[in-house]
Amino acid sequence: MLNRVILASCLALWIGSFTLAVDTEDYMARALQLMSETPLIDGHNDLPWQLRNQFNNQLNKVDLNTLATTHTNIPKIKAGRLGAEFWSAYVPCATQYKDAVRQTLEQIDVIHRMCQKYPDSFMFATSSEDIMEAFKMNKTASLIGVEGGHSIDSSLGTLRMMYQLGVRYLTLTHSCNTPWADNWLVDTGSVPSEHHGLSPFGKQLIVEMNRLGMLIDLAHVTLEVMNQVLDTSKAPVVFSHSSAYAVCPNKRNVPDDVLMRVKETQGIVMVNFYSEYVSCSKTAKLSDVTDHFDHIKKVAGASIIGFGGDYDGVNGVPEDLEDVSKFPSLVAELLRRGWTDEDVKAALGNNLLRVMRQVEKVRDSMNSTSPDDVPITYEDVQNPCRTSFGYPNIGSAHSLSTLAPLLTLALQAWITLMA
């Protein structure tokens, strides 16, 4: 009798595990089918920074087919069914007031060269139409996002030139205040506010980004900046790699009231996979990431959700989401949790495509508006590495200020000589 009970228990366990395996395979098959119909658009990947960090952008010394020291390479991209990627042109805050513009241009250059070196895998893209064209060709549409307002050195002209080079979003701050916007660390209390959100020039910048058709990325900014941009922008905004604050109360994440405002303005929050923003600890699981998707959907609907992995920009990713090849596992988990095909397709790419099309529509509606050529005030950007050319009445003062120490040195030399 005992043997029969044991046999029945073992049989039940085997049937249960077999059913679970079949269900898992079904969800994965369905996930892959949906990903073949709608491009997975990821909002943020730092592979270009790893190319600088590991190889000083010497792309000729790198083979992205075999590179094994990053979350991202071409075989992993193919396995992950990555339809489009916003490659991050990121340089650290330490470059601010120094060589940020040069270094950012070099990151833009390496993204262009990456597309040129691997034309069978990547297609450079700057529009919603380009994304769909690349998807039809079974290539990964490659867009550029500049991560950090310090990269434009408080210059609308630099912003415009970066747009001409293909940049399609600007993250307003990284982890340092700019002369016109506060960064997210202000909300932690570790950094003082300098602008109470955006300065007047910061608000100018938002309008100019609308005119250009550049996505405004609110990852890395303060709550005050989030709300001020939502008040100002005519176009929907993006959070390229941020998660839900209610699930993990890290200031890099988005609180529920802002999620509702994003819904009202038809923007998008692209969920970050960094463990500390997912579980507020050093470790996390795929299910923890899915909790963020579920929460955002519950609060504001599936129409504002996207994927913002942050691969190669973080040092801790969740179990079962170890690299870009794992995207299908997350899609399968959404389906297991009851997400409809329509909801999944919205999160995969349809939401971001809608946002891009609306940004492009706002741009087209402003095509008769002249470029804003009013510069930031010199007092807001004055520093030892910046000249004052072009600012009336400052050049002469600047010349006198440099003349004074020369006169002092000459006087000291004369006194020494006379002695």
What is the set of active-site residues?
A: 44, 46, 147, 174, 220, 241, 310
Residue 146: closest CA among 167, 125, 128: 167
Q: β-pairing, 238-239 with 268-271?
A: parallel
∠ CA 231-380-162, nearest 5°, is 65
- As a whole number of angstroms, the distance between CA 87 and CA 76 comes to 15
Runs of H (alpha helix) within 252-365: 256-264, 275-278, 286-300, 327-336, 341-345, 351-365
CB count within 10 Å of CB 124 equals 19
**Residue 254, SS3 per DSSP:** strand
- As a whole number of angstroms, the distance between CA 192 and CA 185 comes to 8
Cβ(345)–Cβ(78) below 8 Å = no
Residue 269: closest CA among 287, 251, 250, 242: 242
∠ CA 199-202-203, nearest 5°, is 95
Q: Across the strands, what pairs with 170?
A: 146, 216
* The token pair that represents 223 in the structure block: 């709550």
